């Protein structure tokens, strides 16, 4: 809680501002002019002063001269002129900032939280969010930032490729933020709509276009005017709807379902898929002409296992977020962060975030220590292994070999335990490994 002095001659403003400041958990006293403010300063100690620039008995800046020596309160000047910023910067130190009228609750929250942020920054290094979205300082992420920065200066459509959970939507939001475009960021999932509804979602519909179309609806292309449209799971879009999308991408006009009027649209399309380029080409889930329209600039987002040095940074960020949400003070131990780095995270950043959340729930909220489960594994990881291991067209020998090696890896190469898990004798396991030509003499 801070003790705040609010100096402003507008009684209505001070009255309502006091209610809001008190709601934010701070104590507040008011002064209507410089003389009253000076009197308060001689009697009380304040953490923060909100000071109107123009007061009946002089400029608010005069009060700065009357501030007590020693631990000075933080000062926020309230002004109606953004141009005052420059004057403040020149005349006052870093302890003084400003707010421009009209003021909102978030503005007040932000000026009061600055002090806390400054002191907490000393305790832990700040985590940089690149483009306000992305966390990571590894070489693959630096490369990604370079690509985002380059493409944001153009209007090119971008296709994001990457495994599930790598943060494709976050990268799309980063491209939007870096583009500094006027329009909004609109996201939709092409896999989430039935064949009948996807046309309406993308292009909108007119009233009465189909049963249930009780009113006119703007499609996402129209909503994202002058902004960014993120089409997630683009490869899950029904193939017979793709020519309609192609027409919009080529002609930059959209016709609502049930409508006749062509409306111009202007937005960058960022699409995403968790399939590889090769898979897209082979499986024919996306028409070639659409692919080239959407993937003018393809960006592959690295999986977390290829940027393991970012794991501590991400884990730190997630636990800080949970601490702020739940008023806890969990801290990672260096050996815990090392343990997180040893796991491959097949579910990528999403899996890591869920893991940290689960660990925070399991831990004592009154303690700083985080309780980690003995092993890190997720049903997601198992599902992935199974889905790649059991594709039709593979021989039983191939699958058997893969299972044997996966089991050995799981038990750190202990053949007795591996044999037990596989339900075969140790002798059979050795025989198999011999047959694969992968058993040295000393292991026998």
Partner 1 sequence: MDQQQFAQLQLAVHEARRPLNRITMQAELIKLALEGAVPKEKALNALDKIIAGSKDCSDSLSELVAQFNPDQNGHAE
User: Interface with partner 1 includes 382 (CB under 8 A)?
Assistant: no
Q: How far is the CB of 116 from partner 1 (least distance, A)?
A: 21
Residue 12: CB atoms within 10 A of its CB come to 8
Question: For partner 1, which is the closer residue by CB, 80 or 389?
Answer: 80
- 23 or 436: whose CB is closer to partner 1? 23
Report H helices in 252-347. 277-283, 288-294, 311-326, 334-342
Phi-psi category of residue 55: left, alpha or beta, with phi > 0 → left and psi -120 to 50 → alpha = beta
Piece of the chain touching partner 1 by CB under 8 A; list 13-21, 64-72, 110-118, 129-137: 13-21
The binder of partner 1 chosen from 26, 38, 62, 101 (CB under 8 A):
101
DSSP label at 241? Answer: G
Write the CB contacts of 332 (distance below 8 Å, at least 6 apart in sequence): 312, 315, 316, 319, 370
DSSP notation for 113-177 = HHHHHHHHHHHSPPPP-BTTTB---SHHHHHHHHHHHHHHTS---EEEE--TTS-HHHHHHHHHH
**Which residue, 102 or 215, is less far from partner 1 as judged by CB?**
102
Choose, by CB under 8 A, the member of 80, 82, 93, 365 that binds partner 1. 80
What is the total count of residues that contact partner 1 (CB under 8 A)? Answer: 16
Of 49-78, binders to partner 1 (CB under 8 A) are 54
Nearest approach, Cβ of 48 to partner 1 (angstroms)? 17
Does position 145 interact with partner 1 (CB under 8 A)? The reply is no
Q: Judged by CB, which is closer to partner 1: 89, or 105?
A: 105
Is the bond leading into 106 cis (omega within 30 degrees of zero)? no
In the numeric block, the tokens 């999932």 are attached to 189
- Residues 36, 49: contact at Cβ < 8 Å? no
Nearer to partner 1, 50 or 352 (CB): 50
Nearer to partner 1, 101 or 115 (CB): 101
**Residues 370, 213: Cα–Cα separation, whole Å:** 51
Q: Does 103 bind partner 1 (CB under 8 A)?
A: yes
- Smallest gap from residue 32 Cβ to partner 1 (A): 14
Please report the beta strands in 67-121, taking only residues with DSSP state E, as ranges in sequence order: 74-79, 96-100
Tokens of 116: 């806390």
Rounded least distance, CB 103 to partner 1, Å: 6
The answer to whether residue 13 forms part of the interface with partner 1 (CB under 8 A) is yes
- On whether the CB atoms of residues 64 and 40 are closer than 8 A, the answer is no
Q: Other CB atoms closer than 10 Å to residue 147's CB: what's the count?
A: 17
Rounded least distance, CB 25 to partner 1, Å: 11
Reading the block at residue 244, the tokens are 């309609």
Q: Which is nearer to partner 1, 103 or 262 (CB)?
A: 103
Judged by beta carbon, residue 52 or residue 222, the one nearer partner 1 is 52
CB 172 → partner 1: shortest distance, Å? 30
By CB under 8 A, residue 20 contacts partner 1:
yes
> By CB under 8 A, is residue 113 in contact with partner 1?
no
- Residue 141's nearest CA partner among 356, 324, 350, 304 is 304
Residues of span 215-244 touching partner 1 by CB under 8 A: none
- The span from the CA of 75 to the CA of 5, in Å, is 9
Task: State in angstroms the smallest separation of the CB of 54 from partner 1.
Answer: 8
CB of 78 to partner 1, least distance (A): 8
Segment near partner 1 (CB under 8 A); pick from 102-110, 205-213, 372-380, 385-393? 102-110
Smallest gap from Cβ 328 to partner 1, in A, equals: 24
Give the span between the Cα atoms of 370 and 336, in whole angstroms: 9
The span from the CA of 415 to the CA of 168, in Å, is 40
Beta bridge partners of 159: 271, 298
Comparison of 13 and 380: residue with beta carbon closer to partner 1: 13
User: Pick from 221, 151, 153, 225: which is nearest to 184 by CA?
Assistant: 225
| DSSP annotation of 406 | H
Stretch that binds partner 1, among 103-111, 292-300, 342-350, 426-434 (CB under 8 A): 103-111
Please identify, among the stretches 99-107, 307-315, 375-383, 385-393, the one whose residues bind partner 1 according to the rule CB under 8 A: 99-107
Per-position x/- string for 243-282, each x denoting binding to partner 1 as judged by CB under 8 A, each - no binding: ----------------------------------------
Q: Which of 25, 86, 102, 379 binds partner 1 (CB under 8 A)?
A: 102
Residues that bind partner 1 (CB under 8 A): 10, 12-13, 16-17, 19-20, 23, 54, 80-81, 101-105
């Amino acid at each position: 809680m801070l003790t705040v002095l609010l100096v402003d001659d507008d009684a209505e403003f001070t009255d309502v501002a006091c209610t809001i400041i008190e709601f934010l958990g701070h104590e507040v006293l008011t002064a209507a002019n410089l003389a009253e403010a000076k009197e308060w300063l001689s009697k009380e100690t304040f953490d923060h002063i909100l000071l109107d620039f123009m007061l009946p008995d002089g400029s608010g800046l005069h009060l700065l001269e009357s501030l007590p020596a020693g631990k000075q309160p933080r000062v926020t000047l309230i002004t109606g002129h953004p141009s005052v910023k420059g004057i403040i910067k020149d005349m006052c130190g870093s302890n003084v900032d400003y707010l421009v009228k009209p003021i909102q609750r978030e503005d007040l929250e932000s000026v009061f939280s600055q002090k806390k942020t400054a002191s907490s920054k000393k305790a832990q290094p700040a985590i940089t969010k690149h483009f306000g979205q992305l966390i990571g300082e590894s070489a693959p992420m630096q490369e990604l930032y370079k690509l985002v920065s380059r493409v944001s200066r153009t209007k090119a459509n971008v296709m994001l490729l990457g495994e599930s959970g790598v943060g494709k939507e976050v990268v799309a939001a980063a491209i939007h933020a870096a583009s500094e475009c006027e329009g909004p960021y609109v996201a939709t999932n092409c896999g989430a709509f039935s064949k009948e509804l996807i046309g309406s979602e993308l292009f909108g519909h007119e009233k009465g276009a189909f049963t249930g179309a009780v009113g006119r609806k703007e499609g996402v292309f129209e909503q994202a005017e002058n902004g960014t449209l993120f089409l997630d799971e683009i490869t899950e879009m029904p193939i017979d709807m793709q020519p309609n999308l192609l027409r919009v991408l080529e002609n930059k006009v959209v016709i609502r379902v049930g409508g006749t009027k062509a409306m111009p649209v202007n937005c960058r399309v960022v699409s995403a898929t968790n399939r590889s380029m090769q898979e897209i080409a082979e499986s024919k889930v996306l028409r070639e002409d659409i692919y080239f329209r959407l993937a003018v600039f393809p960006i592959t987002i690295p999986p977390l296992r290829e940027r393991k040095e970012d794991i501590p940074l991400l884990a730190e960020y997630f636990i800080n977020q949970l601490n702020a949400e739940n008023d806890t003070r969990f801290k990672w131990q260096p050996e815990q962060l090392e343990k997180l780095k040893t796991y491959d995270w097949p579910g990528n950043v999403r899996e890591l975030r869920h893991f940290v959340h689960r660990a925070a729930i399991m831990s004592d909220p009154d303690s700083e220590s985080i309780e980690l489960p003995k092993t890190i594994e997720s049903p997601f990881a198992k599902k992935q292994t199974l889905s790649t291991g059991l594709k039709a067209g593979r021989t039983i020998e191939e699958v058997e070999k893969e299972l044997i090696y996966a089991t050995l890896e799981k038990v750190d190469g202990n053949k007795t335990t591996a044999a037990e898990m596989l339900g075969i004798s140790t002798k059979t396991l050795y025989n198999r490994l011999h047959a694969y030509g992968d058993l040295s003499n000393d292991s026998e």
